[in-house]
Amino acid sequence: MFADEPTGNLDSKTTAEIMDIIKKMATEKNQTIVMVTHDINIAKYANKIIHIHDGHIEKIEGETKNEEN
């Protein structure tokens, strides 16, 4: 699933509910979610965070297991 600011216009309670649903769905169905957000609180739901600035990767945080180089 691709999501661009999926909770951008929601209040904090609804945002948490939606993010819990998205995370549960991804876990249960073994799916990958690619999400763009400027909200660090939403990013905390991710297993991996890729920081991009001016089109360049600045930093990668999180899991790196099972990756092939």
For residue 3, what pLDDT is reported? Answer: 93
pLDDT in tens, 12-31: 999 999 999 999 999 999 99
pLDDT in tens, 34-68: 999 999 999 989 999 999 999 999 999 997 665 55
Where is pLDDT greater, at 8 or 65? 8
The residue among 34, 40, 42 whose CA lies nearest residue 17 is: 42
For the chain, the domain total comes to 1
What CATH number is attached to the domain comprising 40? Answer: 3.40.50.300
Got the DSSP string for 17-58? HHHHHHHHHHHHTT---EEE-S-HHHHTT-SEEEEEETTEEE
Domain with 22, as residue range(s), is 2-62
Instruction: Please report whether residue 41 resides in a domain.
Output: yes
For residue 69, what pLDDT is reported? Answer: 44
For residue 60, what pLDDT is reported? Answer: 94
